[in-house]
Amino acid sequence: MQVAVIGSGTMGNGIAHVFAQHGFAVSLIDINQPALDRGMATITKNLDRQVAKATLSEDDKTATLGRLRTFTSIEAGVAGAELVVEAATENVDLKLQIFRDLDQYAPAGAILASNTSSISITKIAAVTKRPAQVIGMHFMNPVPVMKLVEVIRGYATSDEVTQRVMDLSRQLGKTPTEVNDYPGFVANRILMPMINEAIISLFEGVAGVEEIDTVMKLGMAHPMGPLQLADFIGLDVCLAILRVLHDGLGNPKYAPCPLLVNMVMAGRLGVKSGEGFYQYTAGSKDLVVAERFKK
């Protein structure tokens, strides 16, 4: 089966990795070759890590890389694809344009899936002439490690397409969970208000960064505190999802904290920018609270 993945960033290269590792021929598509080179370098590094941990053989690594091809053209990359997974930036206008292009260039029978974490599948499907074949396939980060795939049915998504995506997810060693198309779906409708409340608690001086994260790690058995998790996800992504929830549900409880808005405007996006609630130094695993939040 031929699979195409749109976007070679963190999510896209992870999705391409797991499909290729499980025997699928994969076309990885991005707007320029340097982005694709970075994506392939990440896939290679992650495969090397699996080999070092003896969860993958050197031969399997070579075979996985051999199933991957890169393209800077959507038209060329999706030729012959039976499944296309879009994993571009969480921007509604960009995604709508990508799906217009996919509808034009992908084979008529191809399933068009989006890895969106919050944007309406129904809205995305409406710009195509094949809404029954459009579905959400929301992988978790890091894709090669996390087991969940949130499978989101749009208003017109067919039973056949839903079942096929559920089955494909299981072939990847994942656990698919079917949900309906409402803002934030399940994962982010529950997660983002928690993260936002943690930021509000910091903003209002209830406790510091380390204290908030410690309470949730030790008190609620979370592997990562909500502020560290927000940094890992990307504060810009958190803000975008909260705005989708706020706009889509019209409930003030989803309004993003002003501190989050200011941090994003200032370019303090978390791990990707080197600073969020914590400071990040290349090559260091030490968790250091950002200077402005130190007591």
Query: Are 52 and 41 within 8 A, CB to CB?
Result: no
Distance CA 1, CA 82 (A): 7
DSSP secondary structure string for all residues of 57-126: -HHHHHHHHHTEEEES-HHHHTTT-SEEEE---S-HHHHHHHHHHHHHHS-TT-EEEE--SSS-HHHHHT
Q: What is the pLDDT of residues 144-160, one digit of tens each?
A: 999 999 999 999 999 99
**CATH number of the domain located at residue range(s) 188-293 in this protein:** 1.10.1040.10
Catalytic residues: 117, 138, 150, 188
* Domain boundaries, given as residue ranges, for the chain: 2-180, 188-293
What residue ranges of the chain have pLDDT lower than 50? none
Query: Are 37 and 117 within 8 A, CB to CB?
Result: no
Domain spanning 2-180, CATH class: alpha beta
Residue 116's pLDDT is: 95
What is residue 187's three-state secondary structure? helix
Known binding-site positions for NAD(+):
7-12, 30, 90, 95, 117, 141, 272
Phi, psi for residue 252 in degrees, rounded to 5: -60, -15
* pTM reported for the whole predicted model: 0.92
Does this chain's domain 2-180 share its CATH topology with 188-293? no
Residue 284's pLDDT is: 85
Known binding-site positions:
7-12, 30, 90, 95, 117, 141, 272
